[in-house]
């Protein structure tokens, strides 16, 4: 069974940084592209970033380009999202996701 467990969320001031992690199990992590998706309070789903299985291809939504960095460690079955220069509009639950398989999410709140 695919399991994805996010961690690292919390309260941070505007302009601050946070690093999210996602621990994967139940599938061959190194064979799959992975994604971060976020959901602002009361809003729909928004794709944030994707990384290919070997990290060769990386993509970002325009809303986070230049501020967020996605990475992975296949030896540790882990996915990461480094978030810098955070803004109030980045407040959301962040999910680690595959087409089949989502984590439970971790809440990021950006507020002074």
Partner 1 sequence: NFMLTQPHSVSESPGKTVTISCTRSSGSIASNYVQWYQQRPGSSPTTVIYEDNQRPSGVPDRFSGSIDSSSNSASLTISGLKTEDEADYYCQSYDSSTWVFGGGTKLTVL
Stretch that binds partner 1, among 9-17, 33-41, 64-72, 75-83 (CB under 8 A): 33-41
Binding mask 42-81 for partner 1 (x = CB under 8 A): --xxxx--x-x----x-x-x--------------------
What b/e readout covers 93-103, taking b as 16+ CB neighbours within 10 angstroms?
A: bbbbbbeebbb
Q: How far is the CB of 62 from partner 1 (least distance, A)?
A: 10
For position 107 contacting partner 1 by CB under 8 A, the verdict is no
For position 8 contacting partner 1 by CB under 8 A, the verdict is no
For position 32 contacting partner 1 by CB under 8 A, the verdict is no
- The 3 state secondary structure assigned to the chain is CCEEEEECCEEECCCCCEEEEEEEECCCHHHCCEEEEEECCCCCEEEEEEECCCCCCEEECCCCCCCEEEEEEHHHCEEEEEECCCCHHHCEEEEEECCCCECCCEEEEECC
Q: How far is the CB of 35 from partner 1 (least distance, A)?
A: 6
Binding site for partner 1 (CB under 8 A): 33, 35, 37, 44-47, 50, 52, 57, 59, 61, 93, 95, 97, 99-105
């Amino acid at each position: 069974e695919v399991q994805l467990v996010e961690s690292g969320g919390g309260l941070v001031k505007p302009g601050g940084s946070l690093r999210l992690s996602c621990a994967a199990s139940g599938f061959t992590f190194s064979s799959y592209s992975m994604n971060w998706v976020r959901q602002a309070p009361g809003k729909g789903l928004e794709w944030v970033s994707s990384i290919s299985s070997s990290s060769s291809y990386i993509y970002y939504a325009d809303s986070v380009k230049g501020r967020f960095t996605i990475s992975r460690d296949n030896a540790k079955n882990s996915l990461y999202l480094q978030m810098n220069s955070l803004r109030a509009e980045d407040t959301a639950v962040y999910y680690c996701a595959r087409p089949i398989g989502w984590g439970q999410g971790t809440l990021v709140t950006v507020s002074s």
